[in-house]
């Protein structure tokens, strides 16, 4: 059995009971080193196989091979395994290689919903997720998606917003949205949600300080109806109040 779980943004409190049960029942836990470190208190002395960044295929291949040997393997991902996680890659490899492995997927709390709860209620109307990482997606495609989301007035959740190798990507995305979103559009940022050094702040499209954002951050840009009141970011659903 190979179980692919989302461990939420970082704290045990934001993990589902199903994910915790899967970890406790596992023979072997496989994952990116940061995520295996986060669940170490839950797995005790179980075998842990961890790899670094850019080792996704190797990590998934290892998990599949161990499960095929009859081990009860858990692959850990941050947030939800099916949202920028390893669920898709695991299923692709198992299908393409015709591996005899039973795969189970366990949902988790993704960054956007975890961060939205910390900021208020910014996702009450239509919203979308866009990753600003161009490691696997051409930047031209990302630009097209950013423009389309802004023109359609979606609330936009930016994953992978800024890193040392992509310091200007978030600023470029904001510039792309400018024709359809005013400078007063509310923006919420949460860094390291559910972890020890969690931070959050509210700003606007025109006053955004990009230097405070890193890869541990999620950025939520409101729509034309979103507002900030009493320190909360709110997107109305449309109820008559």
Per-residue pLDDT of the chain (241 residues; tens, 9 = 90+): 999 999 998 888 999 999 999 999 999 999 999 999 999 999 989 999 999 888 999 999 999 999 999 999 999 999 999 999 999 999 999 999 999 999 999 999 999 999 999 999 999 999 999 999 999 999 999 999 999 999 999 999 999 999 888 889 999 999 999 999 999 999 999 999 988 889 999 999 999 999 999 999 999 999 999 999 999 999 999 888 7
Report the DSSP beta bridge partners of residue 187.
203, 221
Boundary-marking domain end, from 57, 91, 109: 109
Encode pLDDT of 53-68 as tens digits: 889 999 999 999 999 9
Encode pLDDT of 9-46 as tens digits: 888 899 999 999 999 999 999 999 999 999 999 998 99
pLDDT confidence of residue 10: 80
Specify the number of domains making up the chain.
2
pLDDT confidence of residue 196: 85
- Same domain for 103 and 25, yes or no, is yes
- On whether residue 241 sits in a domain, the answer given is no
The whole-angstrom distance between residue 79's C-alpha and the CA centroid of its chain comes to 5
Boundary-marking domain end, from 109, 124, 149: 109
- Same domain for 116 and 79, yes or no, is no
- On whether residue 182 sits in a domain, the answer given is yes
Boundary-marking domain end, from 92, 109, 126: 109
Report the DSSP beta bridge partners of residue 28.
47, 73
- On whether residue 59 sits in a domain, the answer given is yes
- Same domain for 18 and 39, yes or no, is yes
Cβ count within 10 A of residue 29 = 24
- Same domain for 85 and 150, yes or no, is no
The strand ranges marked E within 97-224 are 103-106, 120-121, 127-131, 155-159, 186-191, 199-204, 217-221
- Written as six digits, the tokens of 77 are 């991902």
CA dist., res. 29 & res. 214, Å (int): 28
- Same domain for 89 and 39, yes or no, is yes
pLDDT confidence of residue 194: 86
- Same domain for 8 and 103, yes or no, is yes
- Rg over CA atoms, the chain: 19
- On whether residue 162 sits in a domain, the answer given is yes
Contact of 210 with 159, CB cutoff 8 Å: no
CATH of the domain at 139: 3.30.950.10
- Same domain for 145 and 227, yes or no, is yes
pLDDT confidence of residue 92: 97
Cβ count within 10 A of residue 147 = 15
Strand 103-106 versus strand 2-6 pairing type? parallel
- Same domain for 37 and 103, yes or no, is yes
- On whether residue 240 sits in a domain, the answer given is no
- On whether residue 208 sits in a domain, the answer given is yes
Segment holding 144, helix H or strand E? helix 139-151
- On whether residue 26 sits in a domain, the answer given is yes
Segment holding 73, helix H or strand E? strand 73-77
CATH of the domain at 32: 3.40.1010.10
Q: Between the CA of residue 219 and those of 22, 57, 122, 186, 230, what are the distances in Å?
A: 31, 28, 11, 11, 20
Q: Where are the alpha helices (DSSP H) in 26-86?
A: 33-38, 40-43, 56-68
- Same domain for 61 and 75, yes or no, is yes
What is the domain range of residue 185?
112-234
Per cent of the chain over pLDDT 70 is 100
- Same domain for 96 and 138, yes or no, is no
- On whether residue 209 sits in a domain, the answer given is yes
- Same domain for 12 and 98, yes or no, is yes
CA dist., res. 72 & res. 131, Å (int): 32
């Amino acid at each position: 059995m190979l179980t692919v779980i989302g461990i939420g943004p970082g704290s045990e409190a934001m993990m589902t009971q199903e994910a915790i049960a899967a970890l406790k029942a596992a023979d072997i836990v496989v994952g990116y080193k940061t995520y295996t470190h986060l669940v170490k208190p839950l797995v005790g002395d179980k075998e842990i196989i961890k790899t670094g960044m850019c080792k996704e295929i190797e990590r998934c291949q290892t998990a599949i091979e161990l499960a095929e040997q009859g081990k009860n393997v858990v692959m850990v991902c941050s947030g939800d395994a099916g949202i920028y996680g390893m669920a898709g890659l695991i299923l692709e490899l198992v299908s393409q290689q015709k591996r005899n492995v039973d795969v189970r997927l366990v949902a988790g709390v993704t960054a956007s919903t975890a961060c939205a709860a910390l900021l208020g209620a910014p996702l009450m109307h239509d919203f979308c997720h866009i990753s600003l990482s161009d490691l696997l997606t051409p930047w031209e495609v990302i630009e097209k998606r950013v423009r389309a989301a802004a023109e359609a007035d979606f609330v936009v959740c930016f994953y992978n917003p800024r890193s040392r190798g992509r310091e200007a990507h978030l600023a470029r995305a904001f510039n792309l949205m400018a024709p359809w979103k005013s400078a007063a559009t509310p923006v919420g940022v949460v860094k390291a949600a559910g972890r020890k050094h969690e931070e959050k702040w509210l700003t606007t499209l025109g006053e955004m300080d990009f230097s405070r954002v890193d890869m541990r951050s999620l950025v939520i840009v409101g729509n034309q109806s979103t507002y900030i009141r009493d320190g909360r970011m709110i997107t109305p659903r449309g109820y008559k109040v």
